[in-house]
Amino acid sequence: MMQDIIHQYLRPSKKFPHVWCPGCGDGIVLSAIVRAIHSLGKSKNETVLVSGIGCSSRAPVYVDFPALHGTHGRALAFATGIKMANPELTVVVITGDGDGLAIGGNHFIHACRRNIDITAVVFNNSIYGMTGGQYSPTMKVNDYGATAPYGNIERPFDVCDLASAAGANFVARATAYHAIMLEKFIKMGIAKKGLSIIDVITPCPTLYSFYNKAGKNIDMMESIRDRTITIQKAEQLSDAEKEDKIVVGIFANRDFPEYTGIYSDLMERAKRSVKDEELL
């Protein structure tokens, strides 16, 4: 069946079960990414998965695509290099909220600004899971973490607002619970020319739950399900009512020029001007 196609893509050399905790949403998002790539008919040889460091960034290790497991926060920078060297490739970046927005924050906004044809999936669980529960830039005010024992006082990034403002062509948000919607958004993102950012709210039933008393894995998943509202619904609510909600949907879908296309035009122009000079 189409839904469990991931079994054909698992890396044969890897030991399973994987490293993620019971009830972690990362496996759900990874299988949605694989289904999206498969249903678009992209072969293993024309797709590259790029990741940084973190729980989420373990994902490319388990699936049999050409992959680059880079340094912390630099996934989008490496991916930009891959795409520039070979624009034919489909590049999918797997990054976390800490990896992509804190350490790699500059790469994130500049990739959006350049609007290069990459699809970035941000696994957003509001916490640094791998290093012991420090708060990340997407943690809500008054949530707790290992480095916020009295509650977080910093306002969080809204990944979708940030990406749309910085100029990405396709920006959407889904959750790990809404796996089928998530698959649809990733598919649209890969098919879209230009940078696509898909923000995925995933549960961290180990550390986030421990510091915030958010319950076991099913409680976290149900809380994500119950807090989710669509963009249309969110427009009718006031800011105070929206505070605790997860707004899902497509935030931006537009056609700004794509970077590798502009770059090859520039190359053509440069070659022509050199030729003209030679003729003179």
Partner 1 sequence: MAKKTKYLYIKKNWCKQCMFCVEFCPRDVIEVGEDGYPRIVDITKCRECTLCISLCPEFAIITEPEVTEQLEVR
Choice between 2 and 153, CB closer to partner 1 = 2
Rg of the chain, C-alpha, whole Å: 19
Asked if 22 touches partner 1 (CB under 8 A), the answer is yes
CB of 66 to partner 1, least distance (A): 20
Stretch touching partner 1 by CB under 8 A, among 105-113, 140-148, 174-182, 187-195: 174-182
Asked if 18 touches partner 1 (CB under 8 A), the answer is yes
Residues in the chain: 280
Choice between 72 and 184, CB closer to partner 1 = 184
Question: Which letter, b or e, does each residue of 179-192 get, where b requires 16 or more Cβ atoms within 10 Å of its Cβ?
Answer: bebbbbbbbbbbeb
Stretch touching partner 1 by CB under 8 A, among 72-80, 83-91, 173-181, 265-273: 173-181
Site for partner 1 in 192-221 (CB under 8 A): 217-218, 221
CB of 224 to partner 1, least distance (A): 12
In angstroms, the CA 113 to CA 192 distance is 16
Asked if 180 touches partner 1 (CB under 8 A), the answer is yes
CB of 10 to partner 1, least distance (A): 7
Residues that bind partner 1 (CB under 8 A): 1-4, 6-7, 10, 16-18, 20-28, 31-32, 177, 179-180, 183, 217-218, 221-222
